Amino acid sequence: DQQVKQNSPSLSVQEGRISILNCDYTNSMFDYFLWYKKYPAEGPTFLISISSIKDKNEDGRFTVFLNKSAKHLSLHIVPSQPGDSAVYFCAMKSKGAGSYQLTFGKGTKLSVIP
């Protein structure tokens, strides 16, 4: 059963508007959450992360929100730019010694229209 779900395979947004990417998870042991961006023929590039002790982390145009009670993670990009067009993956890892592997969603393809 999938522990991490990105229910929107794709999203189109006008340049300058807000992009909101969503991710839901089922494993309550997850305590560190990341977003990666992936261009074609490249590996995932780390964007931003958040630990379970916070509910928001901001870095420039990127803000990640964590709602632990709803087991929901989101990434906001404001303002969206054409160069943001890529596949976005949420990933998470669980707490405890020896916990290191990331569990990924299937990705959401963002298209920012000029």
Partner 1 sequence: GAGVSQSPRYKVAKRGQDVALRCDPISGHVSLFWYQQALGQGPEFLTYFQNEAQLDKSGLPSDRFFAERPEGSVSTLKIQRTQQEDSAVYLCASSSNSDTQYFGPGTRLTVL
Q: How far is the CB of 101 from partner 1 (least distance, A)?
A: 4
Closer residue to partner 1 (CB): 40 or 114: 40
Residues 12-51 touching partner 1, rule: CB under 8 A, are 32, 34, 36, 41-46, 49
Spatial CA neighbour of 89 closest among 36, 15, 23, 31? 36
| Interacting residues of 54 by C-beta distance below 8 A, sequence separation 6+ | 66
Pairwise CA distance, residues 47 & 109, whole Å: 15
Pair 66, 55: CB distance under 8 Å: yes
Closest to partner 1 by CB, 14 or 45: 45
Least distance (Å) between residue 34 CB and partner 1: 7
Name the β-bridge partners of 45.
Answer: 37
Taken as a whole, the chain contains a residue count of 114
Interface residue with partner 1, options 21, 63, 66, 105 (CB under 8 A): 105
Positions touching partner 1 (CB under 8 A) are 4, 32, 34, 36, 41-46, 49, 89, 91, 93, 98, 100-107
